[in-house]
Amino acid sequence: MTSPYRLLKQSGECAARLGEVHTLHGVFPTPIFMPVGTQATVKGVTPENLTELGARIILANTYHLYIRPGHELIRRFGGLHRFMHWDGPILTDSGGFQIYSLKDLAKITEEGATFRSHLDGSKLSLTPESAVAVQEALGSDIMMCLDTCIPYPASREEAVKATALTTRWARRSRAAQRETGQLLFGIVQGGMYPELRREALAALVEIGFDGYALGGLSVGEPEEVMYDLTEAIAPEMPADHPRYLMGVGTPENLVESVWRGIDMFDCVMPTRNARNGMLFTSQGRIVIKNARYQDDPRPVDEECGCYTCRHYSRAYLRHLYMAREILSSHLNTIHNLHYFVGLMAGVRQAISEERFAAFRKDFYAGRAAGDPEGA
């Protein structure tokens, strides 16, 4: 099996690495942050905005698109790329986390997951085979195996049982995959037990996937636990395949996880926080509704070159937010995504120039220099 990943440089300072992933809709560099477009849209922005701010790959969600508008409708429109007017790579999550988060409406069996739609209560199901079939209909570049997400905390017995089920589902997912050119990633579960993670990873490598993801993190565990698990498992993931940490996270999480050898990230934080008026800057976070910005003429971040920072003041952005104008979410989202995407571009350049340790130090120094709110 030929890997879609090409390693360009291994850092001499840490486990960080520079690479690229080849897909049906183009090549994207790693480490990379993927904006989340759950329902075939990255909330608040257009595909043209995403291209302008430097996004190279986005994420959409199998569960949500399966429920509405339906994968067969999207197939009839020529696939997800044509349906949403995005011509770059797309990764689709399998829906396992959404089923986990709706556990009161779902039942997990050996066969798969049965659940009630959060929209109308209708009874639906996803199996490892149907999750792959739905993603093939969507036409995503990277598909994820259906998995069972383990809550935190969980007993070792619970983690063993759920991890074994995820591995069996992974084997079925791989067997169900057709020759479409789409990539399929396996998901390493195991809860907060490193030895279970290692066993799960070994089983997935034996099956053989195009990439490997760490799932079931950022589910309420302390950050130190997440970092320790990532540091323990990431270097053991195949060096010639992409490594993906699912659902993570803050800017600090990204920098620390790249340091530990992770290549790919996604999180709703930049878009969700933008709608809630929290903006990310090189000196920390800004809560734009605060009265201190009422007559502040500065851009959100004086070191940022995004469309929002080039044209609008903090005072204007506060006014939009307080007036509940739709434009508030649009401009805030452009800025936050530009920050996350730009952060990873800076990370890649630092790894390329063998100065990621200095970059990491400066990253934290910028935050320490900010005021108590962060900017």
List, for residues 218-267, the tens digit of each pLDDT value: 999 999 999 999 999 999 999 999 999 999 999 999 999 999 999 999 99
Record the pTM.
0.97
136-192: per-residue pLDDT in tens?
A: 999 999 999 999 999 999 999 999 999 999 999 999 999 999 999 999 999 999 999
- Residue 50 has which token pair? 């995403």
Q: Which positions ≥6 away from 319 have C-beta within 8 Å?
A: none
Q: Would you name the residues annotated as active-site residues?
A: 93, 266
Task: Inform me whether the pLDDT recorded for 8 exceeds 70.
Answer: yes
Q: Which two tokens stand for residue 139?
A: 């036409």
pLDDT at 372 over 80: no
CATH number of 5-266: 3.20.20.105
Instruction: Return the amino acid letter for 130.
Output: S
Collapsed DSSP state (helix, strand, coil) of residue 213: strand
Looking at residues 335-361, what average pLDDT do you find?
98
Residue ranges per structural domain of the chain: 5-266, 274-369
CB 339 within 8 A of CB 304: yes
Is the CB of residue 204 less than 8 Å from the CB of residue 214? no
Peptide bond just before 69 cis, omega within 30 deg: yes
Non-local (6+) Cβ contacts of 248 within 8 A are 217, 218, 226, 254, 257, 265, 266, 267
pLDDT at res. 164: 98
Q: Is the pLDDT of residue 356 over 70?
A: yes
Query: How far, in Å, CA of 150 to CA of 189, rounded?
Result: 8
Q: Is 90 exceeded by the pLDDT of residue 97?
A: no
Closest by CA to 92, choosing from 130, 47, 38, is: 38
pLDDT of 375: 52
pLDDT value, residue 100: 79
